[in-house]
Amino acid sequence: MIDHILVPIDGSKLAECVLPHAIGFAKAFQAKITLLRVMDPVLEVAGKRTPIKPFDWRMYQTEAEVYLRSIQNKLQNQQIDTEYHILEGAFSDRIIDFVKQNDVDFVIISSHGQSGHSGWNISSNVQRILINVFKPIVIVRATLIENDLIVANQYKNIVIPLDLSQRAECALSTVTMIARHFHSKLVPLYLVNKPDMPSRMPLSDSDHLLLDSITERNRQEAESYLTQLKNRMDCSDYTFAPHIIICESIASSLHDYVAKTKVDLVAFCAHGFSGNSHLPFSSLVTNFIAFGTTPLLIIQDMTPEQVEKTMGTLSKLQQKGH
């Protein structure tokens, strides 16, 4: 069950782009929202960190509380149970700690906030949160909200890439709840990747026949799987539209499909068929985090203990004496 949604917000207009999505998800899951504002009591100017003066700090805290209360009122006016908290410290660290200590079920966060857009598709803070929260998380690509009227985002076209594995299906129940609430078109998408056949010489006719045979075999397997999946789904409140694409690059073809069909939400399980625990996300999910342009829902299927820690994480643990 998803009962508690965390929405980190830093006071910037870019960060506010999450609010329509937060309203939509809260209504779909009938969940409460916690707005979280993290404030650093230290300013960094010209490479030097200087504590903010006490009077200025109290003023900033008051402004933050007024701001959060105004957003809380807007959400409560839409019958959403909403609370807010203000914490001091580093943005990503406080959010990660809050998730671990407060029974958060779901996180919705903007790709960029107060620091503005960068040369990367997500900010470094969001990247740290992604790797460490181990909860379902939605990344909303940062855009400016044009007016103060905040209404629930509509998800009319949702795509969930699948790979025949039960692991990849772990995102399906969550996505189905969203599709049912919004009467969406839900597209379970299978991409049949043409196999590689390395050769220093042009491929022979028999090589081409072999490649075509393998590709067709995989297409038939995918078609059978998607048919069985559709037969066991209750699609009375939404459209279930399985789709197969034969391609030479799964990532490129998925990006193209999302762009051409105007997808509102792309949903992934963090890992697929391989279940590779060396990284917190599969290569395809990592690709969409880094290069995607649509809202992205990621359901983490592994616990912190199952995913191997990075060198950076191990170094930080050593510094803390763990």
pLDDT in single tens digits along all 322 residues of the chain = 899 999 999 888 888 889 999 999 999 999 999 999 998 877 665 566 777 878 777 888 899 999 999 999 999 999 999 999 999 988 899 999 999 999 999 999 998 876 656 667 788 888 999 999 999 999 998 775 555 557 778 899 999 999 998 889 999 999 999 999 999 999 999 999 999 888 888 989 999 999 999 999 999 999 999 999 999 998 889 999 999 999 999 999 999 999 999 999 999 999 988 777 788 899 999 999 999 999 999 999 888 888 876 655 545 555 555 5
Separation of alpha carbons 169 and 82, rounded Å: 31
Distance CA 54, CA 56 (A): 6
Question: CB-hemisphere CA count at 13 Å for 86?
Answer: 16
* pLDDT at residue number 33: 98
Which sign, positive or negative, has the C-alpha torsion 274, 277, 283, 284? positive
Contact 271, 300 (CB under 8 A): no
In CATH, the number for domain 4-153 is 3.40.50.620
Structure tokens at 158: 């949702």
Instruction: Say what the pLDDT of residue 72 is.
Output: 96
Q: Using the structure block, give the residue that is written with the tokens 């990592």.
A: 286
d(CA 19, CA 153): 9
Q: Do residues 316 and 149 lie in contact, with contact meaning Cβ atoms separated by under 8 Å?
A: no
The residue whose two tokens read 């007024």 is 66
What integer pLDDT is reported at residue 227 of this predicted model?
95
- Amino acid code (one letter) for 202: P
**Rama region for 11: left / alpha / beta (φ>0; ψ in -120 to 50; rest):** left
Own/partner long-range contacts of 97-103 (Cβ < 8 Å, ≥24 apart): 98/6, 98/36, 99/6, 99/133, 99/135, 102/4, 102/6, 102/34, 103/4
List, as one string, the DSSP characters of 172-185.
HHHHHHHHHHHT-E
SS3 38: strand
| Fold entry, domain 157-267 | Rossmann fold (3.40.50)
Residue type, 149: L
Residue for token pair 């707005």: 35
**Residue ranges of the chain assigned to CATH 3.40.50.620:** 4-153, 157-267
**What is residue 273's predicted lDDT score, i.e. its pLDDT?**
82
Residue in 145, 191, 143 with CA at minimum distance from that of residue 168: 191
